Amino acid sequence: MAKSESSQSGGSRRLLAILEGRPCPDCADGELERDSYKDKRAVVCDSCGTPRAQVWTG
């Protein structure tokens, strides 16, 4: 049975919230923040711009 879209959307929001504020694993100075990446919701480093998670739904 497939998950409902609202359930998937809630999981996506939780994932982005969990990652937000963590240190960037790719650079020494960055912190992860919610932003967009290639027109999708994402968590991106505020210093180097590396995306750590990108959401295609909801």
**Residue 15 included in any domain:** no
**Residue 38 included in any domain:** yes
How much is the pLDDT for 22?
97
pLDDT digits (tens, 9 = 90+) for 6-34: 455 688 889 999 999 999 999 999 999 99
**Residue 2 included in any domain:** no
Instruction: Evaluate whether 53 touches 11 at the Cβ level (below 8 Å).
Output: no
How much is the pLDDT for 15?
93
How much is the pLDDT for 5?
45
**Residue 42 included in any domain:** yes
Count of beta carbons in the 10 Å neighbourhood of residue 7: 11
For the chain, what is the domain count? 1
Q: What is the pTM of this model?
A: 0.76
* Helix H or strand E encompassing 25: none
**Residue 14 included in any domain:** no
Residue range(s) defining the domain that contains residue 32? 21-58
